[in-house]
Amino acid sequence: MQKSTNLPLRISYLLLLFLISCTTNKVVKGYQPTNLEKTSFEVPYFSNPDIDYVYKANITVYGKELTGIFIAKKINETTHRVAFTTEFGNKLLDFEISETDFKVNSIVDELNKKILINTLKSDFRLLLRSHYVTKAQFENQQNKIYLSKQGKMLNYLFVFKSDNSLNKIIHASKRKEKITLFFASENNIFASRIVIKHKGIPLKIELNYFKEDGAKEQSTEAPVNEEPTNEEPTN
């Protein structure tokens, strides 16, 4: 009878050990495995359909810099519409994106490159995703990490213990990190500043949220922690 009672706990523990052993990218180095508190995690940052999320954007790729305005809006339960314009309002790209679908409404010829479109699709899909099914949990004194599987890939959600706000997502294979998103949030409702960095390609996207100050809009530049999680992963 006692063996039967302990069997589910042993299975869960073995599953956790298996997940940890697969995580050779060392994302969770310095963190301890702990009991899973929740089976899903909801991200609030782009979830309100009544809000146009407007950011001043700076994109650096291969030493070149592109500045403009990034706009995201939730248009139904599963889909966001994303636009990137110049500071004068000229539209550079217009996408509709969900976890399963992707549609290019328009894009200027200079940006109409397959590799760039696929990269932005991955970045925006990760940025705008609101629901993660969690499989394992780790923690240290400051953070909890929720591990979520995405096909053959893994997502690590770093959450401050102090206010339960999401401050970082690492998108990785079983061997190494691919994309890291850093967040600075206000009241755990929206992200005032976002930084997206890639491993392997020199691409960095910085988003600073526009706040309305009377008739004038001002961008916030709240700091985000861009320190590496731990050692550089090895192949």
So what's the pLDDT on residue 218?
Answer: 46
Q: Quote the tokens at residue 110.
A: 């200079």
So what's the pLDDT on residue 22?
Answer: 53
Under 8 Å between Cβ of 132 and 41:
yes
d(CA 235, CA 215): 52
So what's the pLDDT on residue 183?
Answer: 97
Averaged pLDDT for residues 208-220:
58
Q: Quote the tokens at residue 92.
A: 């550079």
229 band by pLDDT with thresholds 50, 70 and 90? very low
Question: What are the angstrom distances between the C-alpha of 35 and each of 16, 32, 141, 145, 205?
Answer: 10, 10, 15, 11, 34
Task: From 228, 232, 229, 206, select the one nearest 219 (Cα to Cα).
Answer: 206
Q: Which of 20-34, 166-180, 212-226 has maximum average pLDDT?
A: 166-180
Q: How far apart are the first and last CA of the chain?
A: 46
Averaged pLDDT for residues 48-65:
91
DSSP state of 109: G
Chain-centre distance for alpha carbon 67? 21
